[in-house]
Structure 1
């Protein structure tokens, strides 16, 4: 009888993924044209090990203009050439893809497609939102019990579900309806769901996208705990201007031309990366300094409009309540025509609810909670939902998720000139004859980008150009009200964002602008700030820049 020998961990190759001298492509078709490959040069060496493995790379930050493509390579989206240039030494071939979990928060998918009005009606329908047996509760979403085609729940231990809820600070939300969560809460729920099968490797593109600083810190701390408590290796895709969490140990920088241009231990790579990105980050630093230097002074709501001046938009003693859950209470806000506002508040304080009241997407927006040009909006006053939408331009994550991927960049932009349709309707395309001098002027500011991408399908555009498309769609009709809800939140090319900000500041002087962003430098120049505190009394404050 041959004795059984148990190998020590040090004798086993604990490399989860190894890439060596590999090209990558979309299909298995043979090709010699470098244009058919994801990167023009091969990935010479890249490795991810199990955690706590003799200081081997296990916790990566990937950045650069081609970071998302590289994460696709790591997650198995692209085919390697030669075939063995990408291997998984520690994983069995039969279940290796079950051990790799990839989430991309730039792509609109799943719950992110819930339209605003549906989300607000969920509050009304679900009442207090505490329903432990509800199929669409947070707990059931994480376990897969809300999906009748899922067989996940049968093998999930209750103690592990509770551990995930604890890791992502979701215990107090486990019985709430999933669509009622704030952006940050939903982000944590999606991360928890992705871990239900205990993957060895967790890859996330833009995990902090659109989150306020507090929510960002909470998600980062949760991912650190995931790596420690679940022994999971983590790879995060971050923008070049994003702060790299301290707990990540290795950094890679990726471009289309060079592939993985530099990679290694964070302390070795960051000085090289700072030099590499000097020109790109200089724009960011100038922009950031300009944003941070802006100071605001508290003012009274009554001083916003001069005597005899009719506010463009006014909330007067407005209250919005879902059963026992107050969103606004005794809320007063005068908005002068042409003023530019930043709306501040942590996730869940009511920022998006407030905007949805103005856009008439909210079920309670017709219940005499606001006036437009002195006319109280209520049912039966002769103003329709489409009348409201004709005067509003909007760019938001919810609209982004609704854009048909097969529409071209120019078709989506021209949709902004179609009258008598909802802002969420992308079906119709206005003829070029509809272009006004104002519209031609704005489009002319982006001649370089339109010349290259006007006929590209929306799904093939970079996220920066997708955001630009939605922005131009919103401003092309010269709206009376412009709503920018995280409109620039994931633009990698900051100089394009700056050009958009210049339009808001210089070409839309008579337009009332309401902007939401969790990062200071993503906001165009504003005159005022509305801060929602989110406390029990639903208090708020108004201040003026200057």
Structure 2
């Protein structure tokens, strides 16, 4: 077995057997099973059809009021491992042997797993539409248009299942009104019921999808990363809602978390999986925290379960952030303004969604949002879910139609022409901005190859032909080589970077570098593998690199690293600021790469001529180069936004996070 020894299997089987000692049959029962994406054939090999997980043992007890309460969490640094484990519980993926996965309790109540188990994931594929139907609009800017289409259903329609144009196909006739009222109040959705789902923020969409699952009254609710993308205040509310669900056991709750999320105190059981898809341990939280795992796995389990505490406790000793910035590092001097907002107030009829306040400007109070972003600035836009962050970005990217009529200048020009000055075109804006977000991910063409995905940064649209010169091609090649292991994990040969690391001298490294630059055969995979075939985390990484690779004047990262694996995220953040110049940070020292030593770097990271704009609800996803921040107020409060400057990377100034959020 790939994930562990026979001893580990016996230990897991014994633990599972103890769980089976129950007054009722398990809802989900898995005994020593292996799982595959496609059925293993005679001619398959571990390289062509590898198992997703092997030796899986799991038991989720039924709920008859006499069994001990169970609330499970699957915790892993790998987003792929977390998602696959929950999908396995939901009945997805091929089980070998087929009888190793069963649902005994569901059989006794004559329910199928498809109806009794609700899986709610938040990746781009499932999140592009709130509920699997195309209710989020056909293109990115559709959500901001005043004209409503027949398919622009409101939140109430979505929650009650009225999202089919054919009335005979509606499935919401059996919605329990009491349950509907209870769930919508619990998740603070009452005020949003008549809002088109296309207008929901990411956090609001997340709450709506959980509400729809709860209204269906499932026996088991599987939540994949329920806390990602939530602001601190909404996160606390969501944690309390999930605690109440776990205590009532209606439904049984199994959720996945990142190690840095921490494990809520009300969680009773855990499954711990490492980055290599090995199940290291499972059982009660107290047992795993107390070291009740195989001796060979204790160190790894401790590392994963204590990731958040370890990072916080070590902050005082660390002098350099994980992306190579010292604790105290001042911001760059600002250059010319790239974005100017002079009293922006955006409303739909009587409802103001941005700028419903007065700001102190030049000694007086003026209505609307007054804000600017300059070359060299690295700024974070923060605020509660629904406060207008995404709307503000849509004005900057010109996806919002009201960009034409509001007092906004982009790169020194308005969208509409003025006296003696032409307006700036959409194509000019796109050429000068790099943008990555969950919305871009949802609408991005999945059939493009990995190489064409990056090359599309030089095109007017992703499917248009890119205009590449030699330097642009070199930058694409550099990004592909630097992240070859992450973007093509199936390759067994050493990557370009790994081969350079093993050279005996700088001269040998120069010769190897020159040889590979002349052949490019090490990048053949990038012209064969498609965006669709890449894993979710790798897709996010690709769009992150696409936003950087053309060296635009303004880089916009809107939750760009949400859901990405921790190790890939840290490498991406290091690349954002330093490019190929820095390979890693070890013992408080940013290590120069071999490429930098031999003069072979092509991508140097953000330049002083570029500006960076970041939106994130997770402090771990905020780049260490961020110095300025703008925090929008709660919607409807009328308070002006708060602003501030960080003395250094947020990672090494943890108290600043509470200051930003007013805590």
Contact 1:34 1:40 in 2 (8 A): no
Q: 1:466 to 1:175 in 2, by over 3 A?
A: same
Residues 152 and 270 of structure 1: CA distance in aligned 2, closer, same or farther (over 3 Å): farther
Which range is displaced more, 517-526 or 318-327? 318-327
2:626 aligned with 1:526: yes
Aligned-pair CA distance for 1:276: 0.9
Matches of 2:339 and 2:640, distance apart in 1 = 20
Match in the other structure for 2:437: 396
Matched, 1:108 2:120: no
Give yes or no for contact 2:451–2:476 (8 Å, CA) kept in 1.
no
Range moving further from structure 2, 111-120 or 525-534: 111-120
Aligned: 1:174 with 2:274 = no
Q: Distance in 1 between matches of 2:172 and 2:433?
A: 45
Alpha-carbon distance in 2 for matches of 1:537, 1:180: 21
Distance in 1 (CA, whole Å) between partners of 2:307 and 2:60 is 32
Residue 539 of structure 1, aligned match among 640, 647, 652: 640
Partner of 2:425: 384
2:539 equivalent in structure 1: 466
Alignment of 1:501 with 2:573, yes or no, is: yes
Partner of 2:300: 276
Q: 1:526–1:545: 8 Å Cα contact kept in structure 2?
A: yes
Please say if 1:325 is aligned against 2:338: no
Match of 2:30?
Answer: 19
Alignment of 1:79-94 (within 5 A): 79-92=94-107
Structure 1: gaps of 5 or more residues: 1-9, 127-132
Corresponding residue of 1:4: none
Matches for 1:279-294 after TM superposition, within 5 Å: 285=311, 289=315, 290=321
Is 1:118 aligned with 2:142? Answer: yes
Q: Is the 8 A contact 1:48 1:57 kept in 2?
A: no
| 5+ residue gaps, structure 2 | 1-20, 131-135, 292-296, 316-320, 356-366, 492-524, 579-604, 648-663
Pairing 1:203–2:222 present: yes
Residue in structure 2 matched with residue 5 of structure 1 by the alignment: none
Task: List aligned pairs for 1:21-60, cutoff 5 A.
Answer: 21-28=32-39, 30-31=41-42, 33=45, 36=49, 38-39=51-52, 41-43=54-56, 45-51=57-63, 56=68, 58-60=70-72
Quote the residue 1:215 is aligned against: 234
Instruction: Describe the shift of the 1:288–1:316 C-alpha distance in structure 2 as closer, same or farther (beyond 3 A).
Output: farther
1:449-488 mapped onto 2 (5 Å cutoff): 449-450=486-487, 452=491, 454=526, 455-488=528-561
SS in 2 for 1:153: coil
- Cα offset, 1:441, TM superposition: 4.5
Compute the displacement of 1:489 (Å).
1.4
Q: CA deviation at 1:271?
A: 4.8
Q: Give the CA deviation at 1:378.
A: 2.1
**Deviation string for 1:306-337 (max 9, x for gaps)?**
xxx74222112222222112211422113221
The aligned counterpart of 1:3 is none
1:365 alignment counterpart:
403
CA-CA distance at 1:372 after TM superposition: 3.1
- Quote the residue 1:141 is aligned against: 158
| Contact 2:69 2:247 survives alignment (8 Å) | no
User: Aligned match of 2:454 in 413, 436, 446?
Assistant: 413
> What is the Cα deviation at residue 397 of structure 1?
0.6
Distance 1:252 1:441 in 2: 38
Of the three residues 334, 348, 352, the one matched with 2:390 is 352
Q: Deviations over 1:84-135 (max 9, x none)?
A: 21111111266332111111112433525544422222xx457xxxxxx998
- Once residues 430 and 51 of structure 1 are traced to their aligned partners in structure 2, the CA distance between those partners, rounded to angstroms, is 61
The answer on whether the counterparts of 1:417 and 1:434 sit within 8 Å (CA) in structure 2 is no
> Which residue in the other structure is 1:490 paired with?
563
Check 1:180–1:186 CA distance in 2 against 1; reply closer, same or farther (3 A cut). Answer: same
Provide Cα deviations, 1:338-365, integer angstroms capped at 9, x if missing partner. Answer: 2110111111111111111111111111
SS where residue 638 of structure 2 aligns? coil
Deviation (angstroms), 1:403: 2.2
What is the rounded CA distance, in whole Å, between the counterparts of 1:390 and 1:364 in structure 2?
21
Query: Matched residues in 1 for 2:160 and 2:284: separation?
Result: 36
Q: Distance in 1 between matches of 2:313 and 2:326?
A: 10
